[in-house]
Amino acid sequence: MPNISLVMIVKDESNHLNTCLESVKEYVNEIIIVDTGSTDHTIEIAKTHGAAVYEYTWTNDFAAARNFALSKSTSDWNLILDADEQVTSWDKDKVNKLLQTDRFIGKINIKSNFKQNNEERYSQIYISRLLPKGAYYSGKIHEQVMSKLPRVELPIDVFHTGYFQTDKSERNLIILKEELSKNPKNAYILYQLARQYKTMNLYQEAAHFFKESYQTADRSEEYFTDLAVNYIYTLVELKQYYPAFEIIDQMNVPLGNSPDYQFVCGIFYMNFVLSDTAKNIDFLPLIERSYLICLALGNQNEREIVLGTGSFLAAYNLGVYYEMFNQKEKAKEFYEISAAYHYLPAKSRLLTL
């Protein structure tokens, strides 16, 4: 059996830590907790779970803190979690078999909830979090694992609540700007800075940094789809339709199989048509086309970033589209598809038809 240490950095996490540790205790052999200055009951909670606790002076550098924590591990493998995360599923047999056969960087599926259009929605992304001994981090914020080992997706699911419950925007901006001053052409830092501004609804600033990142990013990078999609969303918010058109024209082939990309295309065409209906009416069919492609991609199990872009969210938007043109039977058909996923807005629309 492979030995696995849970390795965490924490500060004032008494509201979350117990749930996190309870969710993972059966999968790990050792718990390493590095505390960066808690004033609540975080350390006491960690010790009740048998954790080895180390104090660390915070220096606004996540990678440095994580690497210090990793140095305290005695295991061959290290699982990295934050206190506001909890393991929801873990296929022990498959994971153990993989860990016994090779060295690699293990990616786990992290699902997060967030607010959009006054609704709670969910995103998912595979992130490198199960590391062999010797792997380390770089980057003061949104730190990345530095290793030439292959990345392998593992059957481990984690739920993250942090972005939904807390706002760490100002802290993140300070660190990101410091990193950017040292690496002004780093596409990943530019992308993270753009996302941070978008989260704060500062769309002009977000668009600036999305553009800088988009122009320099390697399109093979895992974050590129999210970069392009959020850049288009930002331009739509700013009603900058023609720059958005350019990106859509460039990305139709590279991102054509992404439900999230097709979904934002539907959002774009809807807003573009409504901005000047008489002038842009010829683009109306592209709204329907985009959402139908979303559903087709969902049926092919193409991976979503935001859950529902290949299923209930696309179906709901199609229902709205058909209802707008008084095609009530078609509207009902797609509202029913959406409602089958327990999407409440679709259920509400069905009651009115």
Query: Does the pLDDT of residue 117 top 90, yes or no?
Result: no
Q: Domain ends where: 135, 165, 195?
A: 165
- What would the mean pLDDT of 290-308 be, rounded to a whole number? 97
Within this chain, do residues 158 and 206 fall inside the same structural domain, yes or no? no
Q: How many domains does the chain have?
A: 2
Show the domain range for 63: 4-165
Rounded mean pLDDT, 250-260: 98
The residue from 165, 192, 217 where one domain ends is 165
Examine the domain organization and report whether 160 and 13 are in the same domain. yes
Q: Alpha helix (H) ranges present in 150-240?
A: 162-165, 169-182, 187-199, 203-216, 224-237
> Do residue 290 and residue 321 come from a single domain?
yes
Distance CA 195, CA 203 (A): 10
Token couple for 52: 């080895």
The per-residue pLDDT for range 1-39, each reduced to its tens digit, is: 799 999 999 999 999 999 999 999 999 999 999 999 999
Q: Indicate the residue among 165, 193, 226 that finishes a domain.
A: 165
Number of neighbours of residue 22 by Cβ within 10 angstroms: 12
Q: Which pLDDT value is given to residue 334?
A: 98
**Closest to 52 (Cα-Cα) out of 38, 66, 69, 27:** 69
Q: Are residues 301 and 190 in the same domain?
A: yes
Nearest to 117 by CA among 42, 38, 201, 189: 201
pTM (predicted TM-score): 0.93
Query: Residue 169: pLDDT band by 50, 70, 90 thresholds?
Result: confident
CATH number, domain at 104? 3.90.550.10
Question: What phi and psi values does residue 53 have, to the nearest 5 degrees?
Answer: -110, 130
Give the domain CATH number at 341.
1.25.40.10
pLDDT given at position 161: 86
Quick one: average pLDDT of 156-170? 80
Query: Same domain for 211 and 327?
Result: yes
Is the model's pLDDT at 166 over the cut of 70? no
| pLDDT at residue 165, as a whole number | 58
